[in-house]
Each structure stands twice: as structure tokens, then as C-alpha cells.
Amino acid sequence: MADINNAIIARIKKGNANFEILVDCEKALEYRSGKKSDLNDIVASKGIFNDVRKARKATNEELKKAFLTEDENTIIDLILKKGEIQLTAEHKTKIRENKRKRIVNFIHEHAVDAKMGHPFPVQRIEMLMEQAKIKIDEFEPLEHEIEKTIKALRPLIPIKLEMREIEVCVAASYANQAINLLKRKTKILKEGWLNNGNLVATIEIPAGIQEELENDLNQITKGDVDIKILNKK
């Protein structure tokens, strides 16, 4: 059970009747966004209520009439996915700011200037989002908000999402460090070792992080690395 002292109300209306539950806000929002969780970890009290504040529980007859079932887990699932989750103004602001940062970071890593091929600096993305007057919805899935933001930015900048296939060749003395880095930060499509022990790997990365990856590889290898773009898509 979630902590009842920090719980908020989630509700759904069926006909003229309200059906309410007490839930942990963060966990309820995660569940709504698609994360699988045990419902017992989300709710802060047992039962479905007509009015939580008055501790008035819904009867089995009311549940059956409204939801065609008396199964609490089925009803809780519906309330969490389709109902209204009451948030404080502070919590709404926190969620929107966190989501905004994730959107900015995604665009920085995955998008490039369609004319020049360069990634957009974080500060410029933030400025353009302000200019486009983009409003973040705390309830919308992140993927939808990213799509909405990129669509809004297109009239302002030639933006496109791009993945790159890159070939990386590293001297034998740095090969183990380099392959560990590539495994952490990239999708390795192919890797091989030359007779002299040098590493040759084909990787896939979002276009925006190529410069960061090159800097990391140059630091590890002291510049003894060759990087070549094979494909852009």
C-alpha cells in the first residue's frame, strides 16, 4: 500500500456518480503512462469510494451498474488509465519541467539541422520552444509531446531526426576501453578485430551525440582513432 498521508485522489465519473480512489501520485502517473506496476503499490486504501473525503464507499450494486463488474482491480485500472488524477499545482509544474528537459535532451541528441547536419545546442532548443510558445501537457505521453514539439519547431528551423551508422577503428592498445564505451553508449551493428589487434566496429547512434562520442573516443585513445560516417537515415 502507498503512504496514505501523501496520497491524492483519482476519480472517474459514470453517469451522475463519482468513483474515487486514493493513490500515490508518482506511481499513478507512471502506471498511466504504461509502466506495469502492482496496483497494491499504487493505491493508499482499500475500496472504491463515491466520496473519499467523507469515507463513503461505493456499494457493489453501484459498481456493477457503472462498470459491469465488482472486481476492484479492474475498476482501479480503469480509473488510473481513463480517469482524472488530481495533482497539486506544484506537482504539475514539477512534471512539466521534467518532461520539458527530456524533450529538449531528445531533440539535442536525435535531431540535426537539415541543411548543415549539425545538432542543435540545448540553449537554442529551449529558446525556440519559448518562441514557439510550446505548452507541455503533464498527462500526455512523452512520445506525443516530442512529436508535437518537433512539428511546432519546423516553421522556425530546418529540423530533422537522424540516425547515423559510423565505422570506428581503434588501435589495439585502446581497443578494450573503446569497445566498452561503445557498448554503453551505442548500438553495435558489427565488430571485428584485425590481425594487428586493432578494433573495427560499425555502430548506430543518434546524430546529435556523434560529437560527444568522438570526444570520448579521442580522450580514451589519445587521438589514435578513425571515425567515418557510413550512412545517414
Evaluate if pTM is beyond 0.85.
no
Distance CA 43, CA 226 (A): 54
Residue 33: its pLDDT value, please? 83
Whether 199 and 179 have beta carbons less than 8 Å apart is answered as: yes
Whole-Å CA distances, 182 to 72, 147, 161, 214, 219: 47, 28, 21, 11, 14
Residue 90: its pLDDT value, please? 79
- Collect the ranges in the chain with pLDDT lower than 70: none
Whether 189 and 204 have beta carbons less than 8 Å apart is answered as: yes
Tally the residues of the chain.
233
Residue 214: its pLDDT value, please? 94
* Domains of the chain, earliest start first: 4-85 (3.30.1250.10), 89-161 (1.10.10.900), 163-232 (3.30.70.240)
Q: What is the pLDDT of residues 172-219, one digit of tens each?
A: 999 999 999 999 999 999 999 999 999 999 999 999 999 999 999 999
Whether 166 and 205 have beta carbons less than 8 Å apart is answered as: yes
Integer Rg of the chain from CA = 25
Residue 155: its pLDDT value, please? 95
User: What's the one-letter identity of residue 31?
Assistant: Y
Residue 77: its pLDDT value, please? 95
Residue 140: its pLDDT value, please? 85
